[in-house]
Amino acid sequence: MRQGFYGEEAQRIQRGRDEVKVMVRYPSTERRSLGDLENARIRTPGGGEVPFGQVAAASHGRGYDAIRRTNRHRAVNVTADVDLSRGNANEIVADLAANVLPQLLANYPGVQYSFEGEQQQQRETMSGLGRGFVFALLAIYALLAIPLRSYVQPILIMLAIPFGLVGSIGGHVLLGMDLTMLSMFGIVAMAGVVVNSSLVLVDFANRRRDEEASVYDAIVDAGVLRFRPILLTSLTTFAGLTPLMLERSLQAQFLIPMAVSLAFGVIFSTVVTLVLVPAGYVALADAREWTVRLFRREGDATVHVVQRAAAAQSQPTRRAAR
């Protein structure tokens, strides 16, 4: 019946740049109304014809304009556009997954669901961004460890990155903005910028140590002499990103979250760096000195025990000689 009313493709003919489908079906005068369906004749296996009503029952209902399948299963796509001024897509999806979809699965056990479209792209982007961020951290550590000739000082310098992350999130909260994918891009970029202030302090302190200065004097001189360059660098970075953060044009809206992450992350990490890095530098020097003293005491005790053992072994020999 579907072939008779809708048609069955018999062949395709190429006419210039167009492709013409040849469909075989009832004439248009015999498929205009429901009466044509009721009067249709069905051919039986024996070769005879019977009325449609004797072999089938027709009823009115709602049908699908198209049937879509995914992995050989019938699928229905539910899409929606979110008004960003009134809602957040991630919050809506989380609410659906927590409250609506479990009840749907309980009522219809054979139903399955998955988040596709932008949600799938977001998952793939976040996965790739996470791997790239880890690689970037390893690269930053290697680039710091080689010139500093230390395995611990690069970690001290990179302590500014978590505080920069706090500053980026705080900037979004302060401006009433949601974290987006471009916010994540800005955080990754911020990780490579906030280490500059810590690197300047540690490098200057190491140079003062090479000049036979004490640990305390070296880090104090570094804080005093490098305070102005560090502060000016951070303020100029923030000032350069301010016009973009204040822009209200539609073209700049998708770049504003990245600028917020970078600007507030640099400012907050700089303030923390000026306090945390000097304290960490002194604590690291104290820990290193304490470790050297500990191993030195253990070494002295080992030598003393060895000397007493050697003296004890030599006493019977001396008695025998006597």
What domains appear along the chain, each with residue ranges and CATH number?
1-61 (3.30.2090.10), 67-116 (no CATH), 120-307 (1.20.1640.10)
Query: Which of 3, 12, 9 is CA-nearest to residue 23?
Result: 9
Quick: pLDDT tens for 107-151: 988 888 888 877 777 777 788 888 888 888 899 999 889 888 888
**In the block, which residue shows the tokens 């005879």?**
48
Cα–Cα distance, 190 to 264 (Å, whole number): 9
pLDDT recorded at residue 307: 57
pLDDT recorded at residue 297: 67
Query: Which of 29, 121, 117 is CA-nearest to residue 80?
Result: 117
Quick: pLDDT tens for 266-289: 998 888 888 888 888 888 888 888
- Residue 282 has φ and ψ, to the nearest 5°, of -65, -45
Quick: pLDDT tens for 215-228: 888 888 888 888 89
Report, as an integer, the average pLDDT of 182-192. Answer: 87
Length of the chain: 322
Confidence class for position 176, pLDDT limits 50, 70, 90: confident
Task: Output the pTM of the full model.
Answer: 0.60
pLDDT score of 305 more than 60: no
pLDDT score of 318 more than 60: no
User: What is the full DSSP assignment across 64-81?
Assistant: -S--EEETTEEE------
Report, as an integer, the average pLDDT of 40-56. Answer: 87
